[in-house]
């Protein structure tokens, strides 16, 4: 019972955070922050967004 709940929760979590819209939001947010300021957080958002796009491209 608990195993099914955890598996369901983990699946939902991964579907949201590995989706193309979430990757687009991270890429956009990272570009807005990183380009003018050079902030490290913006750089990481940009990199993670591009990794999400790459993973979705490999899966499809």
Q: What is the pLDDT of residues 19-55, one digit of tens each?
A: 889 999 999 999 999 989 989 999 999 999 999 999 8
**What pLDDT score was predicted for residue 57?**
81
**What pLDDT score was predicted for residue 18?**
87
Contacts made by residues 47-54, CB under 8 angstroms, sequence distance 24+ = 49/23, 49/24, 49/25, 50/23, 52/17, 52/18, 52/19, 52/20, 52/22, 52/23, 52/26, 53/20, 53/23, 53/27
pTM for the structure as a whole? 0.78
pLDDT at 60 over 70: no
């Amino acid at each position: 019972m608990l195993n099914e709940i955890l598996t369901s929760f983990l699946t939902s979590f991964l579907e949201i955070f590995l989706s193309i819209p979430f990757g687009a939001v991270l890429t956009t947010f990272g570009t807005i922050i990183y380009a003018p300021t050079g902030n490290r957080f913006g750089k990481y958002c940009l990199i993670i967004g591009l990794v999400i796009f790459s993973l979705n491209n490999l899966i499809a």
